[in-house]
Amino acid sequence: MNTHVKTLDLSEQKVVDVHCFAFSEDAKNLTKEKLYSLFWLGGPTVGSVKSAPVEQNEVEECLNYKLFIKFLSKFLKCEKHQVLLERNKRCERFQEYLDELFSDAKIEEFVFDSGLKTVKDEELKRYFPRRYQKVFRLEPLISELLENSKSLDELLQRFEQTLERVLSSGYKGFKSVIAYRSGLDVQSWSRKELEEEFVNRKLEWFGPVVKKIRDELFITALKVCAKRRAMLQIHTGLGDTDVVAEKCNPILLKGVLMREEFWDAKVVLVHGGYPFLAEACWLSKVFPNVYVETSSPFPPTYIAPLSVERFYTVLGSAPLTKIVYGSDAFEIPELHWIAAKLTKLSLEVALSKMIELGVLDEEEAYRSAKMVLYQNAHTLLG
């Protein structure tokens, strides 16, 4: 992948992962079948499309899987065919293993999305060796309120009250996957339109597909974030099969982001809108509160967004103060680890190319890497 001589070494740079998921103690025991499933088709939120059965041979011939095994065998100091056995053996001392793994990638802090598998703080404290923060996933709350609220007023009131309560309990902000429900073309609707939609809502996957109400709740979340100077992470770009692909371009958020009343909210474009990189970077340039987050939209089977070319584009298009690192990793800690390792390698090459072209000197390149990998995250997290 690297056609240029690397002049930078980012292996010792600290990392803050601003977008990922917690894993339970079940991750101690990794079966071959589970490992294969993580590298297969589909995705964790697939609902309407049934994933195909896992084919061992096809997974083993997947370049991303080969890369994962190669990296992990080097870390574990064992042969490739012994990786699973050695890994599970090391996990008998789970906290110690996690500490070694995260120390190798220099990951110092995590921000967990409360979606997918929820792991309680009491459990995490038993084995998790790093500091972590949390963001609150909006969609489960929305689904619950759409099912149980007797009126639109009750739904709106309970939603806003819950968000205030969540922030007061220590969460750093919220995460929206409205791109998976009704798309990013968020707009305001009349009271009459909202009432009609509430009355006619019908239960579907993850609750009713009620675009107007979801738009209204998204705007409410922005309002709360602005008032509390909190963070709103927004899934942008492609993802699993259920994403509204024709409405996942972050440029569709322009209308709502234009509203100055929301400029105190910290808006994070998760996945950097991949493959709509130019649009996401432009939004981070023209709006004072918009950040570009760099994770792959479908780890670990889709590492193209972690490529040198992608980082070169983002570094050259978005303000360096507005780029933050995330992994979107889930289920097993090795995914958090390898995402950080791959990101550093790609950043090394992208920044070295900028040195070669005279865009940056070496000191500026290292400072840029620090900003992307952890300094901007500290600013974002306040």
Q: Are 266 and 200 in contact (CB under 8 A)?
A: no
Give the CA radius of gyration of the chain.
21
Q: How big is the CA angle at 47 (ends 338 and 159), to the nearest 5 degrees?
A: 90
Q: Are 295 and 338 in contact (CB under 8 A)?
A: no
SS3 291: strand
Work out the angle between the directed axes of helices 63-76 and 83-90 (0-180°, nearest 10): 50
Q: Which residues, given as ranges, of the chain have pLDDT below 70?
A: 1-6, 41-54, 205-206, 298-305
**CATH class name, domain 15-381:** alpha beta
Q: Are 52 and 41 in contact (CB under 8 A)?
A: yes
pLDDT tens figures, 42-67: 554 544 444 556 677 878 888 888 99
Break the chain into its structural domains and give their ranges: 15-381
Encoded amino acid at 350, one letter: A
pLDDT tens figures, 235-282: 999 988 788 999 999 999 999 999 999 999 999 999 999 999 999 999
Element (H, E) at 362: helix 362-370
For residue 269 the two structure tokens come to 């474009």
What are the b/e assignments for 289-298, b being 16+ CB within 10 Å? bbbbbbbbbb
Please state, in angstroms and rounded to a whole number, the distance separating the CA atoms of residues 271 and 4.
26
pLDDT, residue 3, reads 47
Q: Is 272 left (phi over 0), alpha (psi -120 to 50) or beta?
A: left
Q: What are phi and psi of 78, to 5 degrees?
A: -145, 170
Strand-pair partners of 17: 110
Question: How does DSSP assign 321-338, residue by residue?
Answer: GGEE------SSHHHHHH
pLDDT, residue 305, reads 64
For residue 320 the two structure tokens come to 């360096």
Please state, in angstroms and rounded to a whole number, the distance separating the CA atoms of residues 314 and 369.
12
